[in-house]
Amino acid sequence: MEVPNDNQTRVTEFLLAAISPVWQSQVALFAIFLLVYATTLIGNILIILTVGSDPRLRTPMYFLLGNLSFLDLCYSTITAPKMLVDFLATKRSISFNGCMTQLFFLHFVGGTEMFLLTVMAYDRYVAICKPLRYPSIMNRTLCRWLVAASWTGGFIHSTVQTVLTMRLPFCGPNEVDNFFCDVPPIIKLACTDIYIIELLMVSNSGLISASCFILLVMSYATILVKIRSAEGRRKALNVCASHLMVVSLFFGPCIFIYARPFSTFSVDKLVSLLYIVITPMLNPLIYTLRNKEVKSAMAKLTGKERTSARKLSM
């Protein structure tokens, strides 16, 4: 690997791309993204509070759902506040250390969510295909270990990506072709040959996203094969439909971005926005609109809050 010589200046900050060069458009986008981020916060916090407060939802499925909402909350917060500030800024810059920190947590939370979605698919497989053994298999201890394993896997994945990126020499240019710090656009700015590093990173991210996606598809295919009756398959699809939508929204863009060489396409930035900003907002809506138990528990929770507010105001 080449190292910059003494006459080269190491990059201390990166300049992020603008979604639109027109100021009026930036202001309008600020309002839209602020609404999306607020919806993401409210929706995911509401699910976390609902799952934690209602005894009827203290099951493995809802325990995993609460963790997914927490991850979505973190995932959007890693990038959204900085993007909102940049909409109204004349200089969209981020320090080198700030960029590496954002990159680390982006892959930490994103990798954890991939593993957790795979665990959720396994939970649905056991619930549908082995209903009598479900309580003994998906017990509280196993659920906690699976969630801990998901966080550990995400941490290891992110550490590898971040260390490989930080070891590269950056001596200019410093203009990132994206709205936030991510591996593909950042390593392209390194003043050295990145072919080997690129292969390692694609193997890492691509292997994780593709493997988890294959396991998910196999899990749902097994469910449909094992259920013989048409009515049973219809019910199984109804139960798993929300999870399938979440998987498609999350894994599709991730595989497109990370499971190929880091060549640049014009749609890359828009695809990145899909899984960074839009998906964390849609997850709580998808689960809530398709789940009667969650809707009932949320209505109960918000009803209690309104009652408490009335009492305090008296």
**77, 110 Cβ separation under 8 angstroms:** no
Is residue 312 assigned to a domain? Answer: no
Q: Whole-prediction pTM value?
A: 0.86
Average pLDDT over residues 237-246: 72
**80, 134 Cβ separation under 8 angstroms:** no
Is residue 71 assigned to a domain? Answer: yes
What distance in Å separates the CA atoms of residue 135 and residue 82, rounded to the nearest whole number? Answer: 43
**Secondary structure class of 183 (helix, strand, coil):** helix
Is residue 313 assigned to a domain? Answer: no
Domain range enclosing 196: 22-307
Higher-scoring residue by pLDDT: 110, 232:
110
Is residue 109 assigned to a domain? Answer: yes
Number of domains in the chain: 1
Name the burial class of residue 252, with classes exposed (0-12), middle (13-18) and buried (19+) by CB atoms within 10 angstroms of its CB: middle
Who's near 115: CB < 8 A, 6+ residues apart? Answer: 149, 150, 153, 154, 212
Residue 40 pLDDT: 92
CATH code of 161's domain: 1.20.1070.10
Sequence letter at residue 26: Q
Is residue 10 assigned to a domain? Answer: no
Average pLDDT over residues 258-278: 78
Preceding amide of 169 cis, omega within 30: no
Is residue 13 assigned to a domain? Answer: no
Is residue 226 assigned to a domain? Answer: yes
Residue 156 Cα to chain centre, angstroms: 16
Q: What is the pLDDT of residues 71-127, one digit of tens each?
A: 999 999 999 999 999 888 888 899 999 999 999 999 999 999 999 999 988 888 888
